[in-house]
Amino acid sequence: MKDPFENITGQRQIVCFDLGGTLVEESAPQLHPIPEHIIAQIGLDDKTLSNCLLSVMDLLMKENARKAEDQIPAQKIIEDWLEKSPFNMTVKMLENAAWHMLGANATTYLKPLPFAETLLRKLKDTGTTIVALSNTALPLSILEKIMDVHQLNSYFDAIILSSECGFRKPSPKVFEKMEHSIGYTPEDIMLFIGNNIEADIAPAISRGYMTGYISQTNDNYEEANFKPTFFAKTLKALYQQICNERTPGRMPQ
């Protein structure tokens, strides 16, 4: 079967993914003991350092959960916490300790969902521009390390995070930042794949993108008047639907 993403039109093809629940698991991370050599470098005891990290993580998660289209960047939250802290730590030291608490190179956090790596590889092989656009509490420096562990990072041409740019989906501003990061033009063909109608599908349709909606439930998205171009319960099923409905080399119009 000919790959439906093979480009024979000459137009640039872009696929933008949400991350949690779309490409990677969105379950809570498994926390690990911080290695003794990391504790020694920082100069705090294990309990104190762990409590510091949990305190910062709590602030980041609360900001990520706040119901608003703006988001205080993770870097600022961390810097503000360090400024008030009685301990002599830097952002780099704190993020390194957090990385090890997440399991470092053995982390299972944000594991790829089934078919995710296969789909990314297929897209890369056809020259498709691949972008991630995600609402998250994580700093980009931590997320990129996690994606490296799972061998996903190299597939992306750009990663836009609410924790970095200061805006959250469905804000038009975060979509504008994504478009600017890849030099998007109206002549480009854009497919946005996500698992949330309000944050992903509705704003993507409003901007004229084609959309792929992934949902394990039978929710009636048509009631919201935002019908996605494609709808399936898994990434593999979504890809197969695109194969069935798309003329090879041309996105359906």
What domains can be seen in the chain, in order of their start residue? 13-26+110-245 (3.40.50.1000), 36-106 (no CATH)
Q: Kindly write down the DSSP assignment for every residue of the chain, as one continuous string.
A: ---TT---S-S-EEEEE--BTTTB--SPPPP-PPPHHHHHHHT--HHHHHHHHHHHHHHHHHHHHSSSSB---HHHHHHHHHHH-SS---HHHHHHHHHHHTTGGG--TTPBPTTHHHHHHHHHHTT-EEEEEE--SS-HHHHHHHHHHTT-GGG-SEEEEHHHHSB-TT-HHHHHHHHHHHT--TTSEEEEEES-IIIIIHHHHHTT-EEEEE-SS---GGGGT---SEEESSHHHHHHHHHHHS-TTS---
pLDDT in tens, 167-185: 999 999 999 999 999 999 9
What was the pLDDT predicted at 217? 72
- Write down the pLDDT at residue 63: 97
- Amino acid 226: pLDDT: 77
Residue 249 CA: distances (Å) to CA of 17, 144, 232: 20, 31, 21
Tell me: pLDDT of 44 over 70. Answer: yes
What string of DSSP letters covers 68-88?
A: SSB---HHHHHHHHHHH-SS-
Give pLDDT, residue 223.
57
Percent of the chain with pLDDT over 90: 85
Q: Is 61 a residue whose pLDDT tops 80? A: yes
Q: What is the pLDDT of residue 247?
A: 47
Point out the least confidently predicted range of 20-29, 83-92, 135-144, 224-233: 224-233
What percentage of the chain reaches a pLDDT higher than 70?
Answer: 90
Q: What's the confidence (pLDDT) of residue 245?
A: 75
Q: What is the mean pLDDT of the chain?
A: 91
pLDDT tops 90 at residue 8: no
Q: Is the pLDDT of residue 251 over 50?
A: no
Confidence of residue 1 (pLDDT cuts 50, 70, 90): very low
- CA torsion sign for 170, 95, 99, 123 is positive
Between CA 197 and CA 224 the distance in angstroms is 8
Per residue in 129-146, pLDDT (tens digit) is 999 999 999 999 999 999
pLDDT at residue number 244: 83
Give the tens place of pLDDT for each residue, 197-247: 999 999 999 999 999 999 877 555 555 677 899 999 999 999 998 888 754
Phi and psi, residue 238, nearest 5°: -65, -45
Please state whether 192 falls in left (phi above 0), alpha (psi between -120 and 50) or beta: beta
